[in-house]
């Protein structure tokens, strides 16, 4: 079980060894790892070296440490997407071979705030439709969505039934969303949203804030999506310029 030393820092070798053991099935998803004392002894390293390795593994979401309980293997994300790809939640769930669903929490009409006016470039008297939903995968809640869209961009007597807002806009209003400006940030436990998504207290959320634009560069849809971090993984391709 002990690691084979090479020229790299010892904690990096420990990281690789633990990852290999997880990939090899020695430690399963959500399984508790041995205590620090036992694991350091098995790997033949100091507890200080092990702690540094565990700290980095926790930052990478490979493991999760619960104070007073132990260290556990994190579940692998079910859904993954490039942040540079404009992919609907519905499509991400479909690509994972699961059935998308929606729980509607509320739909309301309101006048825009000063911040909304700046985002949409609209007038004070223009109405916004605000939708609050929970997206599900095989009936399990995985994403909390708050969406804002100008009422004028939707047909009269609009009744939202479809799963994807992109498809609704395209089929009902001939508006095609082509790109979005996004901001993503991790947060911890959220008093309102974490219980809705049935999160453990230790489960973080990934918040994706996006303004979506159409082919004519008009701001169409502003959304704030809260993703369960143990279910979703986002990556980005960066190119040297």
pLDDT digits 0-9 by tens, 78-125: 666 655 556 778 888 888 888 989 999 998 999 999 999 999 999 999
**Residues 67, 176 within the same domain:** no
Higher pLDDT, 164 or 113: 113
Residue 194 has pLDDT above 80, yes or no: yes
Is 240 domain-assigned? no
Check whether residue 126 and residue 213 sit in a common domain: yes
Question: Looking at the chain, how many residues does it have?
Answer: 241
Domain that holds residue 110: 79-235
pLDDT computed for residue 150 by the predictor: 94
**What's this model's pTM, rounded to 2 decimal places?**
0.68
The angle formed by the CA atoms of residues 35, 38 and 43, to the nearest 5 degrees, is 120
Indicate whether 64 and 100 sit together in one domain. Answer: no
CATH code for position 15: 1.10.10.10
Residues 98 and 183 in one domain: yes
Do 169 and 214 have their domain in common?
yes
Identify whether residues 27 and 61 lie together within a single domain: yes
SS3 89: helix
CA angle, 229 as apex, 224 and 233 as ends, to 5°? 90
Same domain, 112 and 183: yes
Pair (68, 93) in one structural domain: no
Count the neighbouring beta carbons within 10 Å of the beta carbon of residue 71. Answer: 20
**87 Cβ contact partners less than 8 Å away, ≥ 6 residues apart:** 81
Distances (CA, A) of 72 to 31, 58, 188: 5, 10, 18
Residue 42 domain-assigned (yes or no): yes
- Judge whether 3 lies within some domain: no
Query: 98 and 175, same structural domain?
Result: yes
Q: Quick one: 85 and 121 in the same domain?
A: yes
As a whole number, the mean pLDDT across the chain is 85
In a 3-state reduction of DSSP, which class is residue 150?
A: strand
- Matching residue, tokens 């999160």: 199
Distance between CA atoms of 239 and 225, rounded to whole angstroms? 27
Helix, strand, or coil (residue 231): coil
Q: Is the pLDDT of residue 193 over 90?
A: yes
> Of the candidates 73, 95, 117, which is a domain's last residue?
73
Residue 48, token pair as written in the block: 């200080």
Instruction: Assess whether 117 and 148 both reside in one domain.
Output: yes
């Amino acid at each position: 079980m002990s690691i084979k030393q090479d020229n790299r820092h010892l904690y990096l070798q420990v990281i690789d060894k633990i990852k290999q053991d997880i990939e090899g099935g020695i430690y399963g998803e959500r399984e508790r790892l041995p205590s620090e004392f036992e694991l350091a002894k098995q790997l033949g390293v100091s507890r200080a070296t092990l702690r540094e390795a565990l700290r980095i593994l926790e930052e990478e979401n490979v493991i999760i440490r619960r104070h007073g309980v132990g260290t556990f293997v994190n579940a692998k994300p079910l859904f993954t997407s490039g942040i540079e790809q404009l992919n609907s939640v519905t499509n991400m769930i479909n690509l994972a071979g699961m059935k998308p669903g929606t729980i509607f929490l509320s739909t309301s009409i309101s006048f825009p705030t000063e911040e909304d006016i700046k985002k949409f470039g609209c007038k004070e008297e223009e109405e916004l439709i605000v939708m609050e939903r929970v997206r599900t995968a095989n009936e399990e809640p995985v994403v909390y969505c708050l969406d804002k869209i100008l009422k004028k961009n939707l047909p009269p007597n609009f009744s939202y039934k479809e799963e994807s807002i992109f498809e609704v806009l395209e089929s009902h209003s001939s508006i095609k969303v082509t790109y979005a400006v996004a901001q993503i940030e991790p947060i911890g436990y959220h008093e309102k949203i974490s219980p809705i998504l049935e999160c453990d207290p230790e489960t973080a959320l990934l918040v994706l804030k996006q303004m979506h634009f159409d082919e004519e560069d008009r701001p169409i849809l502003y959304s704030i999506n809260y993703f369960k971090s143990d279910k979703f993984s986002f990556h980005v391709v960066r190119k040297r310029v």
